[in-house]
Amino acid sequence: MRLIGCVFTGGADMSDSAIPEGFSRIDRPDAQLILCDPYRAPLLSFFSTPLSVWETHPEARRHAGKGLHFSIPLPGHAGSVFVRRWRHGGAARGLGRWYPGPGRAMRELQALIRARRAGVPVPEPVALRIDRAPLGCRLTTVLGDVPHEGDLPSVLGAFDREESERRHLRRRLMARFGRAVGMMHRAGVIPADLHLRNVLVRKTANQDADICLVDLDPVTILDRNPAAVDPEGPVVPALARLLRSWRRWDRAGLRATRTDGARFLRGYAQGAGMGREALRRLLSRVAAAPAARMAGASRDARGVAWVGGGIPSPVSRILVRMPNWLGDAVMAMPLLEGIRRARPEAVLRVQSAAPLRDLFSLSPVEVSVIDERPEDGATRRDEDLILTVPRSLGAAWRGARGRGRIRIGFDGPFRRFLYTHRVRVIGAAAGRHRVHTYWALAAPLGAGPFPPPPRLSIPDSVRADVEARLANLGIAPGDLLVGLNPGAAYGPAKQWPPGRFAEVARVLACRGARILIFGSASEAPLAEAIARETGRAAVSVAGQTTLPQLAGLIARCRAFVTNDTGPMHVAAALDVPVVAVFGSTDPATTGPFGPRHRVVREPVPCSPCLLRRCPIDFRCMRAIGADRVLETLERMIA
């Protein structure tokens, strides 16, 4: 073990009883240093440097994800160290002297020390820096021995090996993962939110690999090291949460299988020192654990739980508050079919943002549409049932004002008095596609277990208008037409570099294809720049279409190359083959829905981060070359 030092500034203090064994305290006028003697000299210089200078060190490397913010070489320490920032304290702690012992950063540090002593592959605690803040303190933990090739699913998907060899490697890694978790639980260290993305992989010789468990917070540390795993303690909910979350981390087609579970549990029993009968009793408790359940909830086999029981019949008037983003609205379309199937006698209305109003004219379910904030007070009409799709508290509040006697929405903080029926998707189902998540809202109505795919249909009048428009652009009915959508409304982190789109367009143009470039009005300059780089074969229609016209033009394409955007979901709902480039978002939950479509992504440790802007080097998108997209596209349209 080598926790080699920590520093307290701004008048902070640590009691002598809290100083680890083998360390000494140095009191200075501006700080208090806790140092390990062999590293006293380099650390005195190291901790004298302000944190802002430390972060901007020329050799510092930024990271995102896994709680690791940047890495830097440390004098006197082999290799680079990784920095993990924390915020600790509050107004009460800011009024006087504070003690950092109970904080989450300190608890994780203690957990790492105990786990490493037990032989668990976790990062090596190197140092701790604590700086006084106006209201509390800022803690920075420094960790060594952290692999950074990627997490378990992404690295395994990127291994250049035959499928049979990959299966063997997968089994070994799952067994090692289980053994590490078992050893940790036996040592009395119980992380509450451990999952596959916490398993970092370090490649070794002969195409093998070792693992390292990171980001243990939040963690429970038992008062003493137990001789064996206690089935009555916090192990059961933690293990239940881990096993039920596997399908959420489906990366590169690596869905959890029974073999994975068997290998993991075999390794877990070995690491925890459990016999077969003890493991069987523990698993029976895990299967019945109340993890992620709601008190008094009904539930079905799909992992959907709801409070409020069934919906009485008849229900004559139903209002559905739809999402305000185009992609989410398309993914919620099957929900309308489920409601119509479960309550065919009801009058169905949808409430939507004004820009999405025309989308529902393409729906296979006949609905009437009202605006999100109508001036005539239409939402004040009494409804039998109001179903709110958005998860925000504001949407729940506006739905409650509609005076519906039955109000259905997703469970969350402060929703208890706003909904009569609160729905939660739990366990493995929580990581499924958002189409399934939205479909879960129809569970109290008695909808079937599986949603149909999102579907849109183009009216004949729109088809005629689209054909006339394409003819004016010089595009004949027999031309190979490919659509490109280079923008993304959510933020630049979702955008593949425009130059790569232009490269794809030029190659397609050389092979005789015509290119339609889509986008919003704000994305028109981007689309026009790509069209100019491509030449006469490309035409930009960005900002020049209504929603029905956009759908009609996409329906005429043989394929659609896009970022993770609303038009991507429109194309998938029209059954147009989609090649989607993903970086900061998760294709397992928001990818194009259906078997015809393909996702191109680079498995990097920080993806999916779900950020609007990349704080580092945009590696998830820059690593995807135009040749990969073209190769995928050519297989689809061959």
> 99-113, 305-319, 560-574: lowest mean pLDDT where?
99-113
pLDDT band at 517 (very low <50, low <70, confident <90, very high): very high
621 vs 299, residue with greater confidence: 621
Lowest mean pLDDT among 141-155, 466-480, 605-619: 141-155
Contact 629, 578 (CB under 8 A): no
Which band of pLDDT confidence, cut at 50, 70 and 90, is reported for residue 117? confident
Is the model's pLDDT at 31 over the cut of 60?
no
Higher-scoring residue by pLDDT: 579, 242: 579
The percentage of the chain sitting over the pLDDT mark of 70, rounded to a whole number, equals 68
What does the pLDDT read at residue 42?
53
Lowest-pLDDT range, 52-66, 502-516, 569-583?
Answer: 52-66
Find the mean pLDDT for residues 618-624.
92
**pLDDT given at position 160:** 46
Helix axes 547-555, 460-472, angle to 10 degrees: 70
* pLDDT at site 378: 44
| pLDDT digits 0-9 by tens, 371-401 | 766 544 444 456 889 999 998 888 888 888 8
Residue 485 · residue 519 · CB < 8 Å? yes
pLDDT greater than 70 at residue 41? no
pLDDT band at 212 (very low <50, low <70, confident <90, very high): confident
3-state helix, strand, coil in the chain (%, to 5): 40, 20, 40
* Confidence band for 132, pLDDT divided at 50, 70 and 90: low
- The pLDDT, as a whole number, for residue 2 is 37
Contact of 494 with 565, CB cutoff 8 Å: yes
pLDDT surpasses 70 at 271? yes
Give the lowest-confidence range in 308-322, 449-463, 477-491.
308-322
Please say if the pLDDT value at position 626 is more than 60: yes
* 350 pLDDT tier (thresholds 50, 70, 90): very high
pLDDT of 308 strictly over 90? no
Lowest mean pLDDT among 378-387, 392-401, 429-438, 594-603: 378-387
Q: What pLDDT does 301 receive?
A: 44
pLDDT of residue 45: 56
Between 327 and 73, the higher pLDDT residue: 327
pTM score over 0.85: no
Helices (H), 354-480: 393-400, 434-439, 460-472
pLDDT for residue 250 is more than 50: no
Which is more confidently placed, 199 or 456? 456
Q: Collapsing DSSP states into helix, strand and coil, what is residue 294? A: coil
Task: Write the single-letter amino acid at 385.
Answer: L
Q: Would you give the DSSP letter of residue 207?
A: G
In this prediction, residue 556 carries a pLDDT of 96
User: Quick check: 543 and 520 in contact, CB under 8 A?
Assistant: yes
pLDDT above 60 (res 483): yes
Residue-level pLDDT at 93: 42
Contact call for residues 332 and 438 (beta carbons, < 8 A) = yes
Q: Which domains does the chain have, with CATH numbers?
A: 5-144 (no CATH), 152-287 (1.10.510.10), 298-445 (3.40.50.2000), 460-637 (3.40.50.2000)
* pLDDT for residue 8 is more than 50: no
How confident is the model over 93-104, as pLDDT tens digits? 443 344 444 467
Helix 547-555 vs helix 566-573: angle between axes, to the nearest 10 degrees? 60
pLDDT value for 94: 42
| Cβ–Cβ < 8 Å for 199, 152 | yes
Residue 44 above 80 pLDDT? no
Nearest Cα to 264, choosing from 244, 281, 248, 291?
Answer: 244
Contact 429, 303 (CB under 8 A): yes
Res. 126: pLDDT tops 90: no
Token pair belonging to 3: 């926790």
Give residue-wise pLDDT tens across range 54-94.
555 555 555 544 555 556 565 555 555 666 766 554 444 44
pLDDT of residue 557 exceeding 90: yes
Instruction: Quickly state the pLDDT bin for 295 (edges 50, 70, 90).
Output: very low
Mean pLDDT of the chain: 78
Distance between CA atoms of residues 550 and 570, nearest Å: 9
- The residue-averaged pLDDT of 523-547 equals 95
pLDDT band at 5 (very low <50, low <70, confident <90, very high): very low
pLDDT of residue 158 exceeding 70: no
